[in-house]
Amino acid sequence: MDLSTWFPEDGSFERWQDARDKVLNPEKYDTPKESEWLNYYVGVDLGRVRDYSAAAIIEFKYAPSGKRFHYVKYLKRFPLNTTYTKIAEMLAGIDRQLRAYAEGAGKEADIAWAVDSTGVGDGVCEIISSKIPLADIYRVYLTGGINANIDYKNRQIRLPKNQMLSCLLGCFDSDRIFLSKKSRELDAIKEELRKELFTYFYCQPQ
């Protein structure tokens, strides 16, 4: 399409004008926009005796181009030996806080929960669901292979670990994920993430 001059065969003038504006002002189409909703993902990793359970709150916004930006608002590692019931109660508190914050801002909160169900997670998901009965909870199973599968009906996600890490690297590389500097857990989690990425991509047997 010639963007210097509009001709009838180019289609509607509005569509041509919009395409031209995207070329001349690309930054406008890659800037996150506010909406009447506050959109959150809450990711929950369930540890065991020697591993921490952790939660991350990510707010995401869309740009007119469709690009999605992720803002990590909260990172929390729960003390070792914290019971799953106690963790579920804390997560219920997070849900209430997010909804109250959105209401105070005159907006609606759309919260999707992703709970690690690879190990003990299935039973813990039931506990979390009992504490947050209206929560939109997806059970996430980390797998091998190369293809992710989302079962919307049963709220289940089967996600290859290599795909998860590759997407995470892509978000960091394209400056579409931002970490809150207020989190006391930031340095520890960044170091764990660095080790995880290095181990997975550089220390795997060939």
Q: Which of 8-22, 40-54, 175-189 has the highest mean pLDDT?
A: 40-54
Whether residues 55 and 20 share a domain: the answer is no
At residue 25, the pLDDT reads: 72
Whether residues 16 and 86 share a domain: the answer is no
What's the number of domains the chain is made of?
Answer: 2
Residue 2: pLDDT over 70: no
Phi-psi region of 81 (alpha: psi -120 to 50; beta: other; left: phi over 0): left
**Angstrom distances, CA of residue 17 to CA of 3, 9, 134:** 8, 14, 44
What single string gives the DSSP state of each residue in 49-116? Answer: SSS--EEEEEEEEE-TTS-EEEEEEEEEEPPTT--HHHHHHHHHHHHHHHHHHHHHTT-EEEEEEEEE
Residue 94: pLDDT over 60: yes
Q: What kind and span of H or E run contains 42? A: strand 37-45
Fill in the amino acid letter for 188. A
What token pair was written down for 188?
């520890």
pLDDT digit string, tens, across residues 151-174 = 999 999 998 888 888 888 788 777
Whether residues 20 and 36 share a domain: the answer is no
Domain, as residue range, for 47: 32-202
Helix or strand or coil: residue 107? coil
Q: How many CA atoms lie within 13 A of 70 on its CB side?
A: 20
What token pair was written down for 67?
């690009």
Whether residues 4 and 60 share a domain: the answer is no
Task: Give the whole-angstrom CA distance, residue 170 versus residue 176.
Answer: 8
Residue 146: pLDDT over 70: yes
Whether residues 11 and 95 share a domain: the answer is no
pLDDT digit string, tens, across residues 25-49 = 766 677 777 778 899 999 999 887 7
> What pTM, to 2 d.p., does this model score?
0.75
Task: Give the whole-angstrom CA distance, residue 138 versus residue 151.
Answer: 9
Whether residues 74 and 88 share a domain: the answer is yes
Task: Give the whole-angstrom CA distance, residue 38 versus residue 140.
Answer: 23
**Angstrom distances, CA of residue 160 to CA of 70, 142, 143, 164:** 21, 6, 5, 6
Q: For residue 145, what pLDDT band results from cuts at 50, 70 and 90?
A: confident
Share of the chain above pLDDT 70, in %: 87
Whether residues 43 and 13 share a domain: the answer is no
Whether residues 15 and 72 share a domain: the answer is no
Whether residues 133 and 187 share a domain: the answer is yes
Whether residues 6 and 53 share a domain: the answer is no
CA 143 to chain centre: 18
Whether residues 48 and 138 share a domain: the answer is yes
Whether residues 100 and 18 share a domain: the answer is no
CA-nearest of 81, 76, 60 to 171 is 60
Q: What average pLDDT does range 2-25 have in this prediction?
A: 73
